[in-house]
């Protein structure tokens, strides 16, 4: 496997570069044709590799997904791989080391939007399968393999539930492999066993009926920026805990064994700050940084807009200010319940001097998920990772970000295991996104070893 991937390394990078050049930005309608080009690029590669069934699925009023199936192993388990080919929008002026859709290879990395999140992860699957077929001499994978690569993940997968319902029979599987996650370290890979959920909301606060000259009314008029600052300042208490009523009622403490495995991973504040570029460490009292990021819920303000955010100030008290909020949830929390908690929190704490509107995006919300801890697919993945990375698995982790794992598991009645090739240094959603080439190749090797491992671990006794 490794020899094949080393031999074809440049071809792998050339293909990834070709795909990265397609600006498949799902959040900007003008890029709809780019999403279609991206999906068609992927269908072409899947056919070249040998998938006998490759289809482009249009979502209901949405963007194209790609489905492929190679089911040539009677009696073997069926595995569905999920990922996405859409990418985040870019702010071109902030890309100082590269251009977003002009990929570059240097210093062991490939730069470009989607190189890591998640086109690189999808391509690792394709090249892992190529490596397996070349090394084994087989003409088909040892499991019945299906892929679903959607085009709306970066906008919350608003049509994924309907897509799964519409194609439930074609997507039926014994196991789902979700590849849209980070790993801890290339030198100390950890087995990912869960991910956090996500709930997004936008809060608008209204003061004067129009922007008003501050000298004319300052000191007497309500200022929505000020009132919003006061409100946001109450989001966390002095212990670093979210103050939404009932927010922690469903949050369970980690089993001791899992907590030990997480904290056994090689970690130092200095390494964390260097790799994540986050300046300082903070968060909830009583928990390590890795526990906070992977296993504890959180609430973040992602955007704060009011007044004149760009250009010269007009010296006016603004009529409206807004924040975009993002809540990260952990297993047992439910997005619908947290939505009600957020509504109650805002209603209780907002000043009566202003009006407000709270929009909560339940359509794009994602429930948290945890892989059944004793499922044999986890052990199979651990064995494949040790062969793919060439080092022992360093422990267990979870993914701090979200994904549709719970939706996939519930709809298809199948457990989900998580394997991704991203690293904290890859700058997902930020400027100068990049992927470690060694991580992509080790990930592809892991996936090459995973299919025969799963064929043995999940086969039903005759």
Nearest C-alpha neighbor of 177 from the set 405, 330, 456, 388:
405
Helix (H, G, I), strand (E, B) or coil at 357: strand
Nearest C-alpha neighbor of 231 from the set 199, 197, 207:
207
Token couple for 23: 């600006």
Nearest C-alpha neighbor of 125 from the set 187, 191, 190, 80:
80
- pLDDT at residue 92, rounded to an integer: 76
For residues 99 and 79, what is the distance between their CA atoms, to the nearest angstrom?
Answer: 36
pLDDT in tens, the chain (462 residues): 899 999 999 999 999 999 999 999 999 999 999 999 999 999 999 999 999 999 999 988 789 999 999 999 999 999 999 999 999 999 878 899 999 999 999 999 999 999 999 999 999 999 999 999 999 999 999 999 999 999 999 999 999 999 999 999 999 999 999 999 999 999 999 999 999 999 999 999 999 999 999 999 999 999 999 999 999 999 999 999 999 999 999 999 998 899 999 999 999 999 999 999 999 999 999 999 999 999 999 999 999 999 988 888 899 999 999 999 999 999 999 999 999 999 999 999 999 999 999 999 898 999 999 999 999 999 999 999 999 999 999 999 999 999 999 999 999 999 999 999 999 999 999 999 999 999 999 999 999 999 999 999 997 654
Dihedral (CA of 399, 384, 151, 35) sign: positive
How many other C-beta atoms are found inside a 10 Å radius of the C-beta of residue 108? 11
How distant, in Å, are the alpha carbons of 80, 283, 370, 371 from that of 378?
15, 30, 12, 8
Return the residue matching tokens 């790609």: 66
The residues, any chain, with a CB within 8 Å of residue 137's CB and separated by 6 or more, are: none
For residues 108 and 342, what is the distance between their CA atoms, to the nearest angstrom?
Answer: 44
DSSP 401-421: S--SHHHHHHHHT--EEE---
Residue 136 CB-density burial (10 A; 0-12 exposed, 13-18 middle, 19+ buried): middle
Rg (C-alpha) for the chain, rounded Å, is: 23
The residues, any chain, with a CB within 8 Å of residue 98's CB and separated by 6 or more, are: 104, 111, 112, 432, 434
The residues, any chain, with a CB within 8 Å of residue 314's CB and separated by 6 or more, are: 211, 308
For residues 203 and 205, what is the distance between their CA atoms, to the nearest angstrom?
Answer: 7
Dihedral (CA of 170, 61, 41, 93) sign: negative
- pLDDT at residue 462, rounded to an integer: 47
Are 85 and 182 a contacting pair, CB within 8 Å? no
- Omega before 118 cis (within 30°)? yes
DSSP 240-299: S-B-STTTTTTPPPPPHHHHHHHHTS---HHHHHHHH--SS----TTS-HHHHHHHS-EE
Q: Could you tell me the end-to-end alpha-carbon distance of the chain, in angstroms, rounded to an integer?
A: 30
Q: For 319-357, b where at least 16 C-beta lie within 10 A, e where not — what string?
A: bbbbbebebbbbbebebeebbebbeebbeeebbeebebe
Helix (H) or strand (E) holding 190, with range, is: none
How many other C-beta atoms are found inside a 10 Å radius of the C-beta of residue 113? 30
Helix (H) or strand (E) holding 303, with range, is: strand 298-306
Nearest C-alpha neighbor of 244 from the set 301, 298, 321:
298
- pLDDT at residue 460, rounded to an integer: 64
- Omega before 191 cis (within 30°)? no
């Amino acid at each position: 496997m490794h020899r094949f991937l080393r031999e074809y390394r440049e071809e792998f990078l050339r293909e990834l570069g070709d795909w990265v050049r397609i600006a498949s930005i799902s959040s900007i309608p003008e890029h709809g044709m780019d999403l279609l080009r991206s999906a068609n690029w992927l269908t072409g590669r899947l056919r070249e590799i040998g998938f006998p069934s490759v289809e482009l699925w249009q979502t209901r009023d949405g963007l194209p997904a790609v489905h492929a199936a190679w089911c040539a192993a009677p009696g073997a388990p069926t595995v569905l791989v999920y990922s996405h080919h859409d990418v985040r929008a870019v702010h071109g002026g902030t890309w100082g080391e590269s251009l977003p859709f002009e990929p570059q290879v240097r210093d062991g990395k490939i730069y470009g939007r989607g190189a890591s999140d998640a086109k690189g992860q999808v391509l690792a699957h394709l090249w892992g399968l190529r490596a397996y077929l070349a090394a084994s001499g087989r003409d088909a994978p040892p499991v019945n393999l299906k892929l679903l690569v959607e085009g709306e993940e970066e906008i919350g997968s608003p049509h994924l539930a309907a897509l799964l319902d519409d194609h439930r029979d074609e997507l039926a599987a014994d196991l789902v492999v979700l590849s849209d996650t980070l790993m801890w370290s290339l030198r100390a890979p950890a087995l990912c066993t869960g991910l956090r959920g996500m709930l997004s909301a936008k809060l608008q606060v209204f003061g004067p009926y129009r922007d008003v000259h501050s000298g004319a009314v300052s000191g007497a008029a309500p200022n929505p920026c000020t009132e919003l600052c006061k409100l946001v300042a109450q989001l966390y208490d002095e212990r670093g805990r979210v103050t939404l009523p009932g927010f922690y009622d469903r949050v369970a403490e980690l089993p001791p064994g899992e907590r030990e495995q997480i904290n056994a991973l090689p970690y130092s504040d200095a390494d964390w700050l260097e790799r994540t570029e986050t300046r300082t460490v903070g968060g909830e009292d009583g928990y390590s940084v890795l526990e906070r990021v992977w296993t504890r819920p959180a609430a973040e303000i992602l955007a704060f807009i009011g007044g004149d955010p760009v250009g010269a100030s007009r010296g006016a008290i603004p009529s409206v200010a807004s924040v975009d909020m993002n809540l990260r949830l952990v297993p047992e929390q439910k997005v619908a319940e947290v939505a009600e908690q957020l509504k109650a929190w805002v209603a209780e704490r907002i000043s009566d001097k202003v009006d407000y509107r709270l929009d909560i995006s339940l359509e794009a919300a994602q429930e948290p998920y945890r892989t059944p801890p004793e499922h044999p697919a986890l052990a199979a993945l651990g064995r494949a990772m040790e062969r793919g990375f060439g080092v022992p698995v360093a422990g267990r982790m979870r993914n701090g970000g979200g994904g549709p794992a719970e939706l996939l598991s519930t709809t298809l009645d199948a457990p989900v295991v998580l394997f991704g090739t991203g690293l904290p240094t890859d700058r997902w959603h930020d400027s100068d996104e990049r992927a470690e080439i060694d991580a992509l190749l080790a990930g592809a090797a892991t996936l090459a070893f995973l299919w025969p491992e799963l064929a043995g671990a999940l086969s039903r006794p005759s």
